[in-house]
Amino acid sequence: MELNDKISAVITGGGSGLGEGTARMLASRGVKVAIFDVNEEAGQKVADELGGVFAKVDVSDAASVAEGFKVARAAHGQESIAVNCAGIAPAAKTVDREGAPHDASLFAKIIGVNLIGTFNVASQSAAGMCAQDPITEDGERGVIINTASVAAFDGQIGQIAYGSSKAAVAGMTLPMARDLSRNGVRIMTIAPGIFGTPMVKGMPQEVQDALGAMVPFPSRLGEPEEYAKLAVSICENAMLNGETIRLDGAIRMAPR
Ligand SMILES: NC(=O)c1ccc[n+]([C@@H]2O[C@H](COP(=O)([O-])OP(=O)(O)OC[C@H]3O[C@@H](n4cnc5c(N)ncnc54)[C@H](O)[C@@H]3O)[C@@H](O)[C@H]2O)c1
């Protein structure tokens, strides 16, 4: 699809990091943006700066997501782009040092935000897209971009819940694309390596440098704009569908 001011987008986790970078780049192309985030202050700030709308949404809660779509669609009409960037990454091992098993409620929480949250937003966005008229000659009605992680494939020590949630996001990509193929809705997933978002930028400089040095080429952290550029390419290139793309400078994560 062509990006312009006739197109609107919903970006979850748009108050920070990769989601914020994507919201900024889409807005710079004229796209009307709606930010969904649990962090009201950060999400509202980005939305205000971009002339977009903000909805306080917890993606793990289907009813909260539905309310968010009401707000976004009342302002901008049916979105043709949904980008899932909301996510959390607490670390815990299968069995901790004291011999206790991984906290089941923490596991469920991470799955709830990263996997069920992605499903909630993607399925509700897809339902709206399916009901709108095609927007391209191909009959395209929309594109949904999910965010996995290289941890979907090479999860490290302490990433049992995170790695599982992201592997499932990669796993839902093809079946969802197949489900929606007759409706002209595409599904793609980006699996980032190590990106310089607030999470990583808050670490001491030597830790950031060490993380960057682990990347074969280019040996540095990825920038949110580089994620955003791929998201924009996915929107513009109708042949990209049903696949997970690693965006990682060829890094393969070590066990720790
Ligand atoms: N930064 C990296 O190196 C990296 C690598 C691989 C994958 N990712 C994935 O990319 C996505 C974005 O990560 P980031 O680095 O930009 O993180 P970030 O912490 O900067 O941004 C995440 C945003 O999601 C929001 N959020 C968290 N839980 C939410 C919920 N339940 N409902 C709505 N919003 C919620 C947060 O408030 C925050 O604004 C995440 O899914 C993350 O797992 C990041």
Q: How many domains does the chain have?
A: 1
Specify the CATH number for the domain of residue 34. Answer: 3.40.50.720
Between residues 177 and 203, the one the model is more confident about: 177
Position 165 in a domain: yes
- Nearest-atom index, ligand 1, CA of 64: 32
Position 96 in a domain: yes
Per the prediction, the chain carries an average pLDDT of 97
pLDDT at 164: 98
pLDDT tens readout for residues 21-32: 999 999 999 999
Position 254 in a domain: no
Position 201 in a domain: no
Measured distance CA(217)–CA(252) in Å, rounded: 12
Ligand 1 contact via 18 beta carbon (within 6 Å): yes
Position 3 in a domain: no
State which residues form the domain around 149.
8-193+227-247
pLDDT at 204: 86
Position 33 in a domain: yes
pLDDT at 74: 98
pLDDT tens readout for residues 201-229: 888 899 889 899 999 999 999 999 999 99
pTM, 2 dp: 0.98
pLDDT tens readout for residues 104-130: 999 999 999 999 999 999 999 999 999
Ligand 1 contact via 16 beta carbon (within 6 Å): yes
CA-nearest residue for atom 36, ligand 1, is: 13
- Nearest-atom index, ligand 1, CA of 58: 32
Position 200 in a domain: no
pLDDT at 59: 99
CA 133 to centroid of ligand 1, rounded, Å? 32
pLDDT at 201: 86
pLDDT at 33: 99
Confidence of residue 94 (pLDDT cuts 50, 70, 90): very high
CA 78 to centroid of ligand 1, rounded, Å? 24
pLDDT at 162: 97
pLDDT tens readout for residues 76-85: 999 999 999 9
CA 88 to centroid of ligand 1, rounded, Å? 6
pLDDT tens readout for residues 32-55: 999 999 999 999 999 999 999 999
Ligand 1 contact via 13 beta carbon (within 6 Å): yes
Hey, which residues are catalytic here? 162
pLDDT at 227: 98
Pocket test for ligand 1, best of 57, 145, 147 (most atoms within 8 A of CB): 147
CA-nearest residue for atom 16, ligand 1, is: 17
